[in-house]
């Protein structure tokens, strides 16, 4: 129910969804223009550039994750309602990923064409994003809840969540780099999977605690 509601709200704000996706495309496309067209250099930077662009794109809509509910009083009803707040937080994070993370997973292999990335690495890149971007939404939900209603919350949100995003970035880009070197990226992908399980288990309840603090 919460997921469906969030998707309907996102459909009414198509410009926000389009902005995040366009940001991802533009940032990923600017690097080949800036560093030149040397194929080996492009292949070397491709995983890191695409992952950084996906990370920043996912952050664009984090500040609005709970802002509308806080402004119209819906958040107070959620806190006082019968449904567990952690489940609601998990549903909102999942809806955020469907809107801002899943499109990035779908379009990333197309953007990799600009970097002359080997075809066999497209699957590793997509899988790493598929495992890693939900972690960004779950962890980002904690930061969005902690900075709710705070003046200058967008900057504070970035300062809070970016250090927590670093392990996901390193493992995500590293899986593609290891696969490119012929060493296989299974280890990094397994770590990303473990991060996803841990985030899914604990992040919603941490977000719920932060929402209770912000609503007081």
- What is residue 37's DSSP assignment? S
Listed as ranges, residues in the chain with pLDDT below 50 are none
Predicted TM-score of the model (pTM): 0.89
pLDDT at 10: 65
Output the pLDDT for position 60.
85
Element holding 163 (H helix, E strand): helix 153-180
193, containing H or E segment: helix 186-215
pLDDT of residue 185: 81
Domain that holds residue 48: 2-215
The pLDDT value recorded for residue 88 is: 87
Q: How far is CA 9 from CA 41, 64, 94, 98, 107, in A?
A: 42, 11, 14, 13, 23
How many structural domains does the chain have?
A: 1
Q: For residue 138, with 0-12 CB atoms within 10 Å meaning exposed, 13-18 middle and 19 or more buried, which class applies?
A: buried
Instruction: Supply the pLDDT for residue 71.
Output: 73
Q: Residue 152: its pLDDT value, please?
A: 65
57-105 pLDDT, tens digit per residue, is: 988 888 778 877 777 777 777 777 777 888 888 888 998 898 888 989 9
Residue at token pair 């590793």: 124
């Amino acid at each position: 129910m919460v997921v469906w509601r969030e998707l309907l709200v996102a459909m009414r704000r198509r410009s926000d969804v389009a902005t995040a996706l366009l940001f991802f495309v533009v940032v990923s496309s600017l690097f080949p223009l800036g560093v030149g067209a040397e194929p080996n250099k492009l292949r070397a930077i491709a995983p890191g550039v695409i992952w950084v662009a996906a990370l920043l794109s996912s952050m664009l809509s984090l500040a609005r994750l709970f802002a509308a509910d806080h402004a119209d009083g819906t958040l107070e009803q959620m806190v006082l309602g019968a449904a567990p707040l952690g489940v609601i937080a998990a549903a909102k994070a999942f809806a955020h990923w469907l809107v801002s993370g899943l499109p990035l997973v779908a379009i990333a292999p197309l953007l990799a064409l600009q970097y002359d990335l080997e075809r066999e690495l497209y699957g590793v890149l997509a899988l790493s994003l598929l495992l890693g971007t939900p972690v960004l939404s779950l962890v980002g939900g904690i930061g969005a809840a902690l900075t709710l209603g705070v003046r200058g919350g967008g900057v504070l949100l970035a300062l809070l969540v970016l250090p927590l995003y670093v392990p996901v970035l390193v493992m995500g880009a590293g899986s593609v780099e290891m696969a490119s070197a012929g060493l296989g990226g299974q280890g990094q992908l397994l770590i990303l999977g473990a991060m996803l399980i841990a985030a899914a288990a604990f992040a919603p309840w941490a977000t719920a605690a932060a929402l209770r603090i912000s609503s007081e």
